[in-house]
Amino acid sequence: MNGKGTASMTAITAPAAPLRQRLLRPNALWLAVPGIAFLAIFFLYPVLRLLALSVQDPASGALSVATYARIANTDVYLQVLGITFKIAANTALFSILLGYPLAYWLAGLKEGLRERMVLLVMVPFWTSYLVKTFAWMVILGRTGVINSMLTGSGLASQPLPLAYNEFGVMVGMVHAMVPLAVLTMLPVMIGVDRRLIQAAQALGAAPAQSFWLIYFKLSLPGVTAGGLLVFISSLGFFIVPALLGGRRETMLAQLIITQVQELLNWAFAGALAAMMLVAALVTVWLYDRLFGLSSLSGETSAQDRGPGRLRLLGLTILRIIAKASAVLADVVRRVIGASGTRRLLPIYCTLALMFLVLPTMLVIPIGFTSSQFLEFPPPGYSLQWFETYFSSPVWLSATLRSFGVAAATAICGTIIGGLAALALARSNSRWGGVVFATFLAPLIVPRIIIAVGLFYLFAQMGLVATNVGLVIGHTVLALPFAFVTITAILKNYDWRLDQAAAVLGANRFKTLLLVTVPLVKGGLVAAFLFAFITSFDELTIAIFISGGIKTTLPKQMWDDMILQLNPTLAAVSVVVFVIVTVLLLLAERFRRTT
Amino acid sequence: MTPVAKKNSAAAPKLIIEGLSKQYGSVTALEPTHLTVPTGEFLTLLGPSGSGKTTLLQMVCGLVEPTSGRILIDGRDQTQTPVHQRDIGLVFQHYALFPHLTVAENIEFPLRMRAMSAAEIKQRVKDVLTMVQLDHLAARFPRELSGGQQQRVALARSFVYQPSIILMDEPLGALDKKLREHMQIEIKQLHRETGATIIYVTHDQEEALALSDRICLMNHARIEQLGSPHEIYAHPATAFAADFIGISNIFRGKVDTSNGEARLATPQGKFRLPAGASYSGAEAAIVIRPEQISLGGDNGNTVVGRVTDAVYAGSETRLIVNLDQGEMVIARLPPGQPAPAYGERATLSWNPDAAVLVP
């Protein structure tokens, strides 16, 4: 290149801008800053502070491992830790086992029918844990539905111990978690190319073999992701073990609540929370090492890394299972015939959906009972328990507070989450992945840890027992849902429309207001409703933050359920169930019409 | 795999289809169809979309259950045999390679399903990989291959277990033109080397002409014409066949025998018919290929019009002439012959015997 050419080249390539200028250059990622700041103050800081408390001496503030030493030396705590792991692992296992055939069946349906059937999983997914657990208490209790039927018909001479033991906890936990497992596995399964099954069969694989060798292998990322989410969610559970378990089913979260509420032992609660968090993070880390975190977002491509030994071992195991189940399928087909075999899956799925939906439905007639007791079927019907509910100042103020807090949470969550989603959609910065993970983090960290951390922070800020405190806490939890919903909508948005608006003379703000927002309106409404529901039936944060008379509806239900089951609870459950279901169906409708 | 001498068509038929039909509610996907495919033949099912060619293919491999009729492979009735027991090879347009298995494992798959010994599997995979020139990619995953390589793996996977028939459903549809032509040669070679019976579905007439021993032209859920590429090109049985395969000039009209000699009266003029052409009804059409039409002169039938375009295509020039009576004629000028300019009047003529009369 001659001298002249070089000169003109330099003239064209502007010198690199100084660092400060580059950082401050208008970049869409700046829109995520309010959200990041919010999460840094009200999520990251309190959680880290809580962990720090666990290694501090309460009196001097010096570094100390005394609390951990106490945990390690006390059998009870180690036992609780073991029980927590065992229950969480079993819940994950059973949720996947029960959910897999259901997700498989749903994935194979035609799209229109599938969307309607998925609602039967969505409704139990969003139904309040309290309502679900209340239903199981009514069903499994000593004088519950099942026992009164068994003793009434003479099948059993005395009530079976169905609740307040491990069985009761597992039923409640699995029932609560199967929807999460199904909804996590479903996108992966829909992504599996079913034509590969045809190809496998044309190449000589029997149907059972083509399932295990091809379909099952390709759906594994969904299975592991579902297992992971269920396991982590279960680690922090306390509603089900507290209400359906006995002493021997005490889980870590219950211990934390006791330490904070009754003993005010922050260091100890911090240490217990740290253990739970470490357990969750180690699980996530292991998962990432084994399967890659990207499969969490529903990508189908199984990242097989070369012909490693582990991979070959997996294939060999699958081949053995495939061969065995091909033989088994042959036997089954001979016994019940080909048409009978084809009916097995739909029959199972009908039963599974009934298991998910019916228990909650049972609460509805009980809410209208004329009896003083939780009997099923009710001896007669009346509106007396709704009257009790609506004439009780405690219940009414709790309901109103829940509505107000949920509305405020939904507005905050949608705005903050929407800006962050917009930032991520419009920016191709390499920080995008970090931002995405930050906004999903409140979903991964067990709620109980966030709640205790916030309680400590709010105690210093004077926000305990205030509506503002509740809204902030609920916004932390609702953000991931709003963020994910809007991100999904923006993924399908045609950004050339924004360019067209710009060319036609609209500035950025007007473009957003007049073009983008109207077009993604449905997604925004859906995000708003999901955030609303999240807040409306939130209990964990409410237990700590909504003290005294400033209680929310779920907190009031929880207090009542611990004290004494009564038909008013059934009436309240009916109201909560109906509100949440209606909002959910609306949200789904808006989400889909965008 | 050793090259097998191609058996002549006198051998026992590989596939016999008897009255096979498919009905979806009130929609007929395939009318009752008869077809016999000799061992070692390369038969193409050619037709526009919705002509029933894919339905026919899917019924042969067992993915779709026929409404009526029978399918005999090697003389045995296989109509009710499930897909995985039919011993048929299938190559999809979308390749259908298993994404979690390496190239070698994909090719092994049918052999494992047939419980072959490890030594034999190894040998066969090695041989077939050599045949498709992918030895060096055996340990790769499908996503690490180009489209052409993926299709070669799919071909290798369907040839490796030497199935009785190999079905290919638009296997080159996803490739670009250049690669497609290259893969056509490879498929042709594989066919020659293995002597396999191949049924190939395509809507691309050039592909069908290039590859097939016979073409089964399909339209409106039934067979329109069955014959060698040359037979169909030179002697189309219907106007559809003439139109679908190659470029055709078609004049429709009424057969007029009033002057002693039969002629076809069309809006573009009265044309002499090919010698010995038989016609049943009064309505008919004559088909003339562009290369049979010459510029100027009088070869028996003449039309006059104005030149609207001359398309230079390297080895030839296509002359497009708008006739005065409002019809377009395409003529092929041999290389070297100068084309008249746009707007000039041109006289085109053809030998009546070079045309084909179709009903």
Contact A202 B90 (CB under 8 A): yes
Look at residue A154 and tell me whether its pLDDT is greater than 90.
Answer: no
Cβ B90–A193 below 8 Å, yes or no?
no
Ranking A204-218, A263-277, B82-96, B170-184 by mean pLDDT, the lowest is A263-277
Shared domain check, B289 and B141: no
Q: Is B157 within 8 Å of chain A by CB?
A: yes
Q: pLDDT at residue A247 above 60?
A: yes
Q: B63 vs A202: CB contact, 8 Å cut-off?
A: yes
Please give, rounded to a whole number of angstroms, the shortest distance from the CA of B65 to a CA of chain A. Answer: 14
CATH number of the domain residue B182 falls in: 3.40.50.300
Q: Which range has highest mean pLDDT (A216-230, A283-297, B30-44)?
A: B30-44
Which chain B residues are within 8 Å of A204, Cβ to Cβ? 84-85, 87, 110, 113-114, 161
Taking the CA atoms of residue B247, residue B92, residue B3 and residue B109 in that order, the dihedral angle to the nearest 10 degrees is: 180
Same domain, B25 and B123: yes
A234 touches chain B (CB under 8 A): no
Mean pLDDT over A381-403 rounds to: 91
Contacts of A306 in chain B (CB under 8 A): 139
Tell which of B188, B204, B234 closes a domain. B234
> Is residue B321 in some structural domain?
yes
- The verdict on residue B178 lying in a domain is yes
Whether B88 and chain A come into contact, CB under 8 Å, resolves to yes
Contact residues on chain B for A320, CB-CB shorter than 8 A? none
**A424: CB partners within 8 A, 6+ apart:** A29, A32, A432, A435, A436, A487
What are the structure tokens assigned to B350, written together? 């053809």
Query: Which residues of B fall within a CB distance of 8 Å from A218?
Result: 99-100
B63, B100, B110: residue with CB nearest A203: B110
| Residue in chain A lying closest to B59 (CA) | A202
CA–CA min distance B145, chain A (Å): 14
CB A83 within 8 A of CB A251: yes
Most confident option among A5-9, A406-410, A443-447, B92-96: A406-410
Radius of gyration of chain A measured on its C-alpha atoms? 27
Instruction: Please answer yes or no on whether B113 and A214 come within 8 Å at the CB atom.
Output: no
Query: Tell me, what's the pLDDT at A444?
Result: 83
Q: Percentage of chain B with pLDDT > 90?
A: 46
* Nearest chain A CA: its distance from B37 CA (Å): 20
Q: Which residue of chain B is at minimal alpha-carbon distance from A199?
A: B96
The Cα of B191 is separated from the nearest Cα of chain A by a number of Å equal to: 19
**In this structure, are residues A529 and A587 in contact, taking their beta carbons and an 8 Å threshold?**
yes
Same domain, yes or no: B225 and B252: no
The candidate with the shortest Cα–Cα distance to A180, out of A300, A356, A301, A348, is A356
> Would you say residue A143 has pLDDT above 90?
no
Domain presence at residue B347: yes
Does the pLDDT of residue A76 top 80, yes or no?
Answer: yes
Contacts of A319 in chain B (CB under 8 A): 112
| C-alpha–C-alpha distance, residues A428 and B3, integer Å | 55
Q: How many helices and strands (H and E) does chain A possess?
A: 29, 0
The reply to whether residue B109 touches residue A218, judged by beta carbons under 8 angstroms, is: no
Question: Hey, is the C-beta of A326 within 8 angstroms of any chain B C-beta?
Answer: no
A305 interfaces chain B, CB cutoff of 8 Å: no
CA distances, A417 to each of A31, A280, A534, B31 (Å):
10, 24, 14, 58
Judging by beta carbons within 10 Å of its beta carbon (0-12, 13-18, 19+), is residue B284 exposed, middle or buried? buried
| Structure-token pair, residue B25 | 């509610």
- Same domain assignment for residues B179 and B293: no
Question: Which residues of chain A neighbour B86 with C-beta distances below 8 Å?
Answer: 202
Q: Which of B100, B110, B139 sits opposite A204 (nearest CB)?
A: B110
> Which residues in B lie closer than 8 A to residue A338 (C-beta atoms)?
none
Q: Are residues B254 and B157 in the same domain?
A: no
Domain co-membership, B166 together with B288: no
Q: Tell me which residue in B84, B88, B100 faces A302 most closely, judged by beta carbons.
A: B100
CA distance B289 to chain A (A): 41
Contact A210 B82 (CB under 8 A): no
Residues in B closer than 8 angstroms to A200, CB to CB, are 98, 109
**Stated length of chain A:** 594
Q: Is A210 on the interface with B (CB under 8 A)?
A: yes
Q: Dihedral sign, CA of A443, A449, A452, A458? A: negative
Residue B279 sits at the chain A interface (C-beta within 8 Å): no
One domain for residues B32 and B138: yes
pLDDT at A340 over 90: no
Whose tokens are 């579905």? That residue is B201
Same domain for B215 and B334, yes or no, is no
Does residue A95 surpass a pLDDT of 90? yes
- B41 & B115 share domain: yes
Q: Which pLDDT band holds residue B128 (cuts at 50, 70, 90)?
A: very high
B82, B85, B100 member nearest A217 (Cβ): B100
DSSP per-residue codes, A312-343: HHHHHHHHHHHHHHHHHHHHHHHHHHHHHHHH
3-state class (DSSP) for residue B170: coil
B70 and B209 co-located in one domain: yes
Q: Are B109 and B117 in contact (CB under 8 A)?
A: no
List the single best residue of B60, B65, B94, B98 to mutate versus A (max A Cβ within 10 A).
B98
Interval A102-124 mean pLDDT: 93
Note whether B161 contacts A: Cβ–Cβ < 8 A. yes
What's at A527, amino acid-wise?
A
Q: Is B63 within 8 Å of A193 when comparing Cβ atoms?
A: no
What domains appear along chain A, each with residue ranges and CATH number?
Answer: 28-59+383-594 (1.10.3720.10), 70-193+223-300+344-379 (1.10.3720.10)
The vertex-A540 CA angle with A538 and A543, nearest 5°, equals 105
Q: Where are the beta strands (DSSP E) in A392-530?
A: none
Structure tokens at A206: 């029997």
Greater pLDDT, B134 or A58: B134
Q: What is the reported pLDDT for A88?
A: 94
Nearest to B105 by CA among B139, B67, B58: B139
pLDDT value at position A296? 53
Buried b (16+ CB within 10 A) or exposed e, A385-424: bbeebeeeeebebbbebbbebbbbbbebbbbbbbbbbbbb
How many angstroms separate the CA atoms of B45 and B247, rounded? 19
> Is the CB of B98 less than 8 angstroms away from the CB of A306?
no
Of the candidates B61, B98, B139, the beta carbon closest to that of A202 is on B61
Strand B42-46 with B214-219, pairing: parallel
Q: How does pLDDT run across A216-231, given as a tens digit for each residue?
A: 999 988 898 899 889 9
Average pLDDT, chain A: 86
B139 contact A CB<8A? yes
End-to-end distance of chain A based on CA atoms, in angstroms? 55
pLDDT-wise least confident of A153-162, A178-187, A492-501, A541-550: A541-550
CB contact under 8 A, B96 and A214: no
Mean pLDDT of A411-426: 91
Interface contact A316, partner B, CB < 8 A: no
The beta-carbon contacts of A78-81 under 8 Å, at least 24 apart in sequence, are A80/A250, A80/A251, A80/A252, A80/A255, A81/A252, A81/A275
Contact B270, B246 (CB under 8 A): no
- With CB atoms and an 8 Å threshold, state whether A217 touches B96: no
Which of A471, A478, A456 minimizes the C-alpha distance to A401? A471
Integer Cα distance of B110 and B116 in angstroms = 9
Separation between Cα atoms, residue B321 and residue B308, nearest integer Å:
6
Residues with Cβ < 8 Å from A14, sequence gap 6 or more? none
Q: Does B239 fall in a domain?
A: no
CATH value at residue B292? 2.40.50.100
Q: Would you give the DSSP letter of residue B287?
A: E
Q: Are strands B345-350 and B294-295 parallel, antiparallel or unpaired?
A: antiparallel
Q: ω into residue A377 within 30 of 0, thus cis? A: yes
Task: Return phi, psi of residue A257, to 5°.
Answer: -60, -45
In the sheet that holds B165-169, the strands lie side by side as B88-91, B165-169, B197-202, B42-46, B214-219, B222-227
Q: How far is CA A337 from CA A104, A204, B351, in A?
A: 22, 22, 68
Helix (H) or strand (E) holding A10: helix A3-12
Q: Taking CB atoms and an 8 Å cutoff, what residues of chain A touch B84?
A: 201-207, 209-210
Say if A315 is an interface residue toward chain B (CB within 8 Å): yes
Residues 6+ apart with CB under 8 A from B142: B95, B97, B98, B99, B101, B103, B106, B150, B153
Is residue B121 in a domain? yes
Q: Which helix (H) or strand (E) holds A120?
A: helix A111-126
Q: Of the residues B211, B234, B257, which one is the last residue of a structural domain?
A: B234
What Cα–Cα distance (Å) separates residue A335 from each residue in A339, B39, B155? Answer: 11, 40, 39
**Are A200 and B98 an interchain contact pair (Cβ–Cβ within 8 Å)?**
yes
Judging by beta carbons within 10 Å of its beta carbon (0-12, 13-18, 19+), is residue B181 exposed, middle or buried?
A: middle
Q: Which of B234, B261, B279 is the last residue of a domain?
A: B234
Tokens of A35: 């959200």
Q: Which two tokens stand for residue A396?
A: 């009414």
Whose CA is closest to A200, among B159, B59, A208, B171?
A: A208
Specify the pLDDT at position A225.
87
Backbone dihedral region of B170: left (phi > 0), alpha (psi from -120 to 50 degrees) or beta?
left
**Is B89's CB within 8 Å of A202's CB?**
yes
What band does A19 get if pLDDT is binned at 50, 70 and 90? low
Name the closest residue on chain A to residue B85, using Cα atoms: A204
d(CA B295, CA B159): 49
Q: A203 vs B113: CB contact, 8 Å cut-off? A: yes
Residues of A in contact with B100 (CB under 8 A): 217-218, 302, 304
Q: Which residues of B touch A201 (CB under 8 A)?
A: 82-84
Same domain? B73 vs B190: yes
Structural domain including B202 reads 13-234
> Which residue does chain A place closest to B165, by CA atoms?
A202
Examine the domain organization and report whether B59 and B92 are in the same domain.
yes
Instruction: Spell out which residues of chain B touch residue A195, defining contact as CB-CB under 8 Å.
Output: 92, 94, 96
Residue B6, in any domain of the structure: no
Give a yes or no: residue B330 inside a domain.
yes
List, for residues B207-260, the tens digit of each pLDDT value: 999 999 999 999 999 999 999 999 999 889 888 999 898 888 898 888 887 777
Q: Which of A195, A197, A203, A212 to mutate to test the interface with B (most CBs of B within 10 A)?
A: A203
Please give the structure tokens belonging to residue A121.
């999983």
Torsion, Cα B236 B237 B239 B242, to 10 degrees, reads: -10
Q: How many domains does chain B have?
A: 2
pLDDT bracket for residue A547 (50, 70, 90): low
CA distance A455 to B313: 80
- pLDDT for residue A3: 40
Does residue B7 fall inside a structural domain? no
Q: Is B343 left (phi over 0), alpha (psi -120 to 50) or beta?
A: left
- Judging contacts by C-beta atoms under 8 Å, the chain A residues touching residue B87 are 204
Contacts of A568 (CB under 8 A, 6+ apart): A385, A388, A389, A392, A395, A560
Nearest-CA neighbor of A437 among A42, A30, A36, A92? Answer: A36
Rounded CA-CA distance A215/A221 in Å is 11
> Burial of A288 by CB count in 10 Å (0-12 exposed, 13-18 middle, 19+ buried)?
middle
Residue type, A416: I
Using CA atoms, how far residue A256 sits from A133, A171, A253, in Å, is 21, 23, 5
Q: Which residues of A touch B62 (CB under 8 A)?
A: 202
